[in-house]
Amino acid sequence: MPKETTPVPGYFCENMTFAAREAMKKLRTNTTLVLPKTDACKIIGVTSSQAGEGKSSTIINLAYSFAELGNKVLVVDSDLRRPSIADKLELTSEIGLGDLLTDNDDISSAIQRYQDSTGKAGFDLICGKGYFENASELLSSRRFTSLLNMLIKAYEYILIDLPPVSAVIDAVVVGKHTDGLIVVVRENKIPRKQFENCISQIEFANIKILGVVVNGSTSGAGKKYQYQYNSYGSYGYYGHK
């Protein structure tokens, strides 16, 4: 059985503000609309151009939003160089994804359970732990593929927290296993050219872009990125695939 966690601090999950909760519902709905219309497990990657744009916070709250509908949801922190999910949720990660890919640890030993204070919404997590210099090779391995193949049998949604696209190749490597990526960008944090390069790398790898989330935005700004939003965490469909 997964180890259960206590309600998380700050602005996560049931502690989200009303505006953030509504933005996550919009993101959940729009993401569902562009995902394949099948009963199979959906794998969604969440990435950004660089660190600090809010992708890990976005994936935690999006997972909770899916779980509120009664879906079986798993969050996987695949950043084997700079994992952050465990820290954000104040968890102790004894066995992380990297350990599963290098040792013979049982999958169930790495899965932790988040359950909200109402007992009505919860999701599972495989967090990251430590630093793996050979991260790209581990994520490209048959072992990672086999791990995903086992997990999709147990969940309806798997949300994978990916490293920033501009930093390492890992996001593109894992992205090929997904139904598409959500790209998080923080308003006024990166130049437009860097954002465009991020999108180009994803498209060059023939990975579907499900949409773009603007983080920390203010009404009336953001036209330089050429997508729409209204407030923090809002969703703009970049798609042409």
Delineate the domains of the chain, giving CATH numbers in brackets.
3-236 (3.40.50.300)
Nearest to 171 by CA among 136, 129, 210, 143: 136
Asked if pLDDT for residue 9 goes beyond 70, the answer is no
Of 206, 203, 149, the closest CA to residue 176 belongs to: 206
Digit-coded pLDDT (tens) for 82-95: 999 988 888 887 89
Residues with Cβ within 8 Å of residue 11, at least 6 apart in sequence? 17, 20, 57
Residues 6+ apart with CB under 8 A from 86: 77, 92, 93, 96, 127, 128, 129
173-208: pLDDT as tens digits: 999 999 999 999 988 778 888 888 999 999 999 999
Cβ neighbors of 172 (< 8 A, separation 6 or more) are: 165, 201, 202, 205, 207
Which of 4 and 225 is assigned the larger pLDDT?
4
Residue 239 has pLDDT above 60, yes or no: no
Q: Which residue has the tokens 């732990």?
A: 129
Section 122-135 average pLDDT: 92
- Token look-up 């006024």 returns 188
Q: pLDDT of 30-57, one tens digit each?
A: 999 999 899 999 999 999 988 888 899 9
8 Å CB contact between 46 and 159? yes
User: How does the average pLDDT of the chain come out, rounded?
Assistant: 84
pLDDT band at 14 (very low <50, low <70, confident <90, very high): confident
Q: Looking at per-residue confidence, does 63 or 13 come out higher? A: 63
Q: Give the pLDDT band of residue 219 (cuts 50, 70, 90).
A: low
- Across 60-64, 90-94, 212-216, the highest mean pLDDT is recorded for 60-64
pLDDT above 70: residue 8: no
Rounded to two decimals, the pTM is: 0.86
Would you say residue 238 has pLDDT above 70?
A: no
Confidence class for position 10, pLDDT limits 50, 70, 90: low
